[in-house]
Amino acid sequence: MFAAPSSAIANDDTSASQNCFDVEVYATVTQEIPSEIPDLGDGSIVMEWPWFLDLQVERVLYGGIGRGKVSVLAIQHTYFSPRYKLWWLKRNSAGGFNVQSHDDGDRHIRCPKGAAPVAPYIRPGKGLTLDDLRQAGERRYGRFPLNAEGSSE
């Protein structure tokens, strides 16, 4: 786990129990907000870090989620290409979902009934919430996609 002043980033555990999904949906990304990139202080370059995504769920293929907007956490380097419509989501212990990877080599399997949620990809520091971290990322980097006038929202 990497420590940052306001948050902690969870390592990506690719074990079988972590690689399953609880929900499979067709959805469109409507907002992408990167969390603040941590300064590791040792000259390291962070290539992937947690992002906040808003998905507009169009169709539920599997799992207990409804249609409409859902906010999720993803690990990414830059903005998603609009080609992704199929999403695999894993319940996290913060009450939301982590996006499972879209890498071609990944095998997506359903989680066993009663599988424990995983840690969220980003954890707030003491006295902070995930909303605080999302707002900090938005203040620093903005919100995407931008509307036709060049501003967010």
Torsion angle of alpha carbons 136, 140, 145, 149, nearest 10°? Answer: 120
Q: Per the structure block, which two tokens stand in for 88?
A: 């695999």
Determine how many CB atoms are found less than 10 A away from the CB of residue 72. Answer: 22
Full residue range of the structural domain in which residue 7 is found = 2-141
Question: Does any domain span residue 100?
Answer: yes
130 phi/psi in degrees, rounded to 5: -60, -35
pTM higher than 0.95? no
Please list the alpha-helical segments (H only) found in 50-142.
130-141
* Residue 150 domain flag: no
Q: Has residue 92 been placed in a domain?
A: yes
Q: Is residue 152 included in any domain, yes or no?
A: no
Q: How many domains does the chain have?
A: 1
Domain CATH for 86: 2.40.50
The verdict on residue 151 lying in a domain is no
Q: Cα separation of 139 and 136, whole Å?
A: 5
d(CA 98, CA 61): 17
Residue 34 lies in a domain: yes
Which pLDDT tens digits describe the chain residue by residue (153 residues)?
333 334 444 444 444 455 799 999 999 999 999 999 877 888 888 888 999 999 999 999 999 899 999 999 999 988 876 667 899 999 999 999 999 976 655 678 999 988 999 999 999 999 999 999 999 999 998 888 654 344 444
